[in-house]
Amino acid sequence: MDSLKGKVVLVTGGSSGIGLAAAQGFARAGARVMIAARGVERGKAAETAIRADGGQVQFVPADVSVPADVMRLVNRTVAEFGRLDAAFNNAADESGTQGVTAELSEEQFDRALALNLKSVWLCMKHEIRQMLTQAPPGGAIVNTSSVNGLGGVPGAGLYAAAKAGVLALTKSAAREYAARGIRVNALVPGAFRTAMLERVLRDAGDDEASRRAAEQRYTQAIPLGRIGGPEEAAAAAVWLCSDAASFVTGLSMVVDGGMTSSVR
Per-residue DSSP letter, 227: P
Per-residue DSSP letter, 203: T
Q: How far apart are CA 171 and CA 186, in angstroms?
A: 8
Q: How far apart are CA 132 and CA 8, in angstroms?
A: 15
Q: How far apart are CA 154 and CA 230, in angstroms?
A: 25
Residues identified as active-site: 159
CA angle 110, 151, 14 (to 5 degrees): 60
**Nearest by Cα to 173 from 77, 233, 111, 87:** 87
Q: How far apart are CA 99 and CA 79, in angstroms?
A: 42
Q: How far apart are CA 87 and CA 78, in angstroms?
A: 12
Q: How far apart are CA 238 and CA 106, in angstroms?
A: 36
Q: How far apart are CA 88 and CA 98, in angstroms?
A: 26
